Structure 1
Amino acid sequence: MKTDSQLQKDVVDELSWAPDVEHGHIGVAAHSGVITLTGHVPNHAMKMAAERAARRVRGVKAVAQDIEVRFASDPKNSDDEIAQRILSLFAWDVSIPDEKIQVKVGKGYVMLTGEVEWNFQKSAALKAAGRINGVRGVMSYLTVRSRPTVFDVRERIVAALKRSAEVDAKGIDVHVEGSTVRLGGSVNA
């Protein structure tokens, strides 16, 4: 007798082998020979083909059919469809660093995680995710990487020079322009 995990694997393999089944959105669970099929397909014929494929596997005693038929014209509201639409929208929006943001969707709620360089990127991601049909809410766990200002850099260098026992900080001028720091003046050797 097959274990539940082996039976589940065999049914998944049979679904992927069936030419009349798009198995990408079909989930399979197995318990004591009973197979539960979940997910969605684009038409009723494919739903029935998935059930027939599951019944062909040796060891399947019964099939619980929970596959939903969704037409292409129906609103895209399942969690996987919402996640895919958000990722596509992020990829097309140049203000969103899509490679730095992870998207998780559960029961219509979107969670964004990752690190962005600017606050406008965080705002753009939140706004874009909220525009997708079927989204019930967006939670942001995005962090904005803080960038030091020119003043902060200068003050930190001056403070480090003052802390140094080997250097007389009074004779050193610190100039910061963009990402370039120039030290000038004279020191005692």
Structure 2
Amino acid sequence: MPFTLVGPCELREEIRKSRFITLAAPISTPAEAQAFIEQNSDLNATHNCWAWKLGDQYRSSDDGEPGGTAGRPILAAIESQDFDQVVVLVIRWYGGIQLGTGGLARAYGGGANKCLQQAERLPLIHRVALHLDCSFSELALVKVRLADMSGLIQEESFTANGVELSIAVSPEQVDTLQKQLADISRGRIVLRRDTHA
């Protein structure tokens, strides 16, 4: 079963006079991953190397380190511990001693591994994608019902008539959610399955 993080975590270590800070956090979109990297990167550091994984999507960056010595080992640490929907950023301040390509891969991958090992995990629940339309006045209640079921809002778009939502809930909760939404809207809100999935 894949896991994500309950919240952000951090690991600090020194390896042969280089300082490393590893930061990890849960994400739900590629944009969130990029925002986390931009907000937490230290422009005064020598390197800000990172990787993220979100389902079938993933990216990584060596940020100036020799190719394959930082981003890929960080990504490998995420995958080897069965994490998903996670971003990891490793910030390095060079301390004057070269680590070599093997040493770099061990430092970046090892920091990511240790940081994720000590973090609190949250199992990722299988969810089905659904769509619904609701009025502006119903939106807050719809969000409460979804939160009660650990559902996710994947997309929210406002139209002239109300709000279109793309959501994801566990398959067992679809019928219950449909009943609750029908009660809120006097039968007007109908869940539609994602036909693209």
* TM-score class, shorter: under 0.3
TM-score (ref. length: structure 1)? 0.19
